[in-house]
């Protein structure tokens, strides 16, 4: 259907800020607005299906188990974030409350039950376990 | 008011009614510059093992091929920024994954959106996309005035930052 079109957003308010580039734990953010997806923690923890994570990434995951928000968390524009009003996005209590120990001792059955409607399904229980043990190895 | 203007007003009103935070509209045209950038990015292997990103290249860069006859691309943003934080000793989870799966939430909203538009305007052709088809989301958001693409590759809105999910 034909509609009236909005004007494109012509400006760029990043300026000379490089907080996201500097903060990225795996140096995945390159110059000229190129993000190397194959170095991104979200890629490793969610999209990479191999059971072995690359050893060069040891100690670089900064305790991220599923995805990563570092480049958004440091972005000055996110000072203007407001809480969502969409009830379905309200946190699953276990996401907020479980400790590392509790995550590590979780059974597949429990995982499936708690995270039935969560995006974490994408990694599957095996993927979450892989990520947890990778984080554990880092500390030792 | 012209017919496109009336329909535009209606589309924007309905998007608000459904709880979307922003709605921008762009003309459905091929994204030539983005096509070149995407090709270079794929050629460098920056998608790693995400082979699915190579699929449907032609459809990805041209909405009129993805949806034959398409005239407009409507981009909707939904804020997911949580009001609560994880325990500081817990293994960290990206904020979009704190609650229910956005695919399910947004698919239902998009279906409702199309249903309401058809109810008011008639039998228009249209398809809703949330990750489910090869769409260059951020390019469309920028093209329809919602914000700019930052150095970290995210769409950033001047009003409320970048914790948004994008759909069409």
Q: What are phi and psi of B92, to 5 degrees?
A: -80, 145
The Cα A91–Cα A74 span in angstroms is: 21
Say yes or no: B148 contacts chain A, CB-CB below 8 A: yes
In whole angstroms, give the CA distance from residue A31 to residue B80.
28
Whether residue A9 contacts residue B148, with contact meaning beta carbons closer than 8 Å, is answered with: yes
Q: Decide: A96 and B87 in contact? Cβ < 8 Å.
A: yes
Q: Do A6 and B144 touch (CB under 8 A)?
A: yes
- Identify whether the C-beta of residue B98 lies closer than 8 Å to the C-beta of residue B3: no
DSSP string, A105-130: T--HHHHHHHTTTSGGGGGHHHHHHH
Give mean pLDDT, residues B62-90. Answer: 95
The yes-or-no verdict on residue B25 having pLDDT over 80 is yes
- Interatomic CA distance for residues A77 and A64, integer angstroms: 22
Task: Tell me the sheet residues that pair with B27.
Answer: B72
Mark yes or no for CB contact B90/A96 under 8 Å: yes
Percent residues over pLDDT 70 in chain A: 98
Residue pair B76/B15 in contact (Cβ under 8 Å)? The answer is: yes
Q: Which of B97, B103, B150 sits opposite A120 (nearest CB)?
A: B97
Percent of chain B with pLDDT strictly greater than 90: 94
| pLDDT for B132 | 67
Read off the pLDDT of residues B115-164 as tens digits, 9 standing for 90 and up.
Answer: 999 999 999 999 999 986 667 999 999 999 999 999 999 999 999 999 99
User: Buried b vs exposed e over A74-101: b needs ≥16 C-beta within 10 Å?
Assistant: bbebbeebeebebebbebbebbeebebe
Least confident of A62-71, B45-54, B125-134: B125-134
Cα–Cα dist A12/B130, whole Å? 25
pLDDT beyond 80 at A139: no
Determine the pLDDT at residue B1: 87
Query: What secondary structure, in 3-state letters, does B82-138 show?
Result: CCCCCCCCCCEECHHHCCCCHHHHHHHHHHHHHHHHHHHHCCCCCCCCCCCCCCCHH
List of chain B residues whose C-beta atoms are within 8 Å of the C-beta of residue A79: 161
Q: Give the span between the Cα atoms of B118 and B55, in whole angstroms.
A: 31
Q: What is the DSSP letter of B79?
A: E
Q: Which of residues 40-79 of B touch A (CB under 8 A)?
A: 41, 44-50, 71-72, 74, 78-79
For residue B42, pLDDT over 80 is answered with: yes
Q: List the structure tokens of A5.
A: 């079109």
Q: Provide the token pair at B30.
A: 């091929």
Mutate to test the interface with A, among B152, B157, B165 (most CBs of A within 10 A): B152
Q: What is the pLDDT of residues A96-138, one digit of tens each?
A: 999 999 999 999 999 999 999 999 999 999 999 999 999 998 6
Give the pLDDT band (50/70/90) at residue B99.
very high
Query: What is the distance between the alpha carbons of residues B166 and B102, in angstroms, rounded to a whole number?
Result: 10
CB pair distance less than 8 Å for A8 and B82 = no
Report the residue of A21, A80, A86 to disrupt the B interface, i.e. the one with the largest count of B CBs within 10 Å. Answer: A86
């Amino acid at each position: 259907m034909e509609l009236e079109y909005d004007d494109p957003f012509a400006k760029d308010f990043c300026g000379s800020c490089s907080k996201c580039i500097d903060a990225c734990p795996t140096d995945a953010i390159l110059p000229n607005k190129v993000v190397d997806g194959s170095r991104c923690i979200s890629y490793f923890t969610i999209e990479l299906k191999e059971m072995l994570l690359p050893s060069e990434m040891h100690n670089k995951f900064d305790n991220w188990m599923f995805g990563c928000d570092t480049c958004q968390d440091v972005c000055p524009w996110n000072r203007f974030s407001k809480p969502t009003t969409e009830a379905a996005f309200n946190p699953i209590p276990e996401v907020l409350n479980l400790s590392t120990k509790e995550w590590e001792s979780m059974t597949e059955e429990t995982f499936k039950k708690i995270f039935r409607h969560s995006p974490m399904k994408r990694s599957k229980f095996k993927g979450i376990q892989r990520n947890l043990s990778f984080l554990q190895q880092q500390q030792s | 008011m012209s017919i496109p203007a009336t329909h535009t007003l209606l589309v924007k009103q309905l998007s608000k009614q459904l709880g979307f935070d922003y709605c921008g509209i762009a003309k459905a045209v091929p994204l030539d510059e983005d096509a070149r950038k995407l090709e270079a990015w794929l050629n460098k292997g920056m998608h790693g093992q995400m082979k699915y990103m190579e699929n449907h290249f032609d459809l990805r860069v041209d909405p009129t091929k993805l949806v034959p006859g398409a005239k407009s691309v409507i981009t909707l943003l939904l804020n997911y920024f949580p009001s609560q934080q994880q325990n500081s000793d817990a293994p960290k989870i990206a904020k979009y994954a704190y609650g229910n799966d956005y695919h399910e939430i947004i698919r239902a909203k998009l279906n409702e959106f199309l249903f309401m538009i058809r109810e008011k305007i008639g039998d228009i052709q249209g398809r809703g996309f949330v990750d489910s088809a090869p769409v260059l989301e951020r390019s469309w958001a920028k093209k329809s005035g919602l914000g700019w693409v930052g150095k970290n590759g995210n769409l950033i809105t001047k009003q409320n930052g970048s914790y948004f999910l994008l759909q069409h």
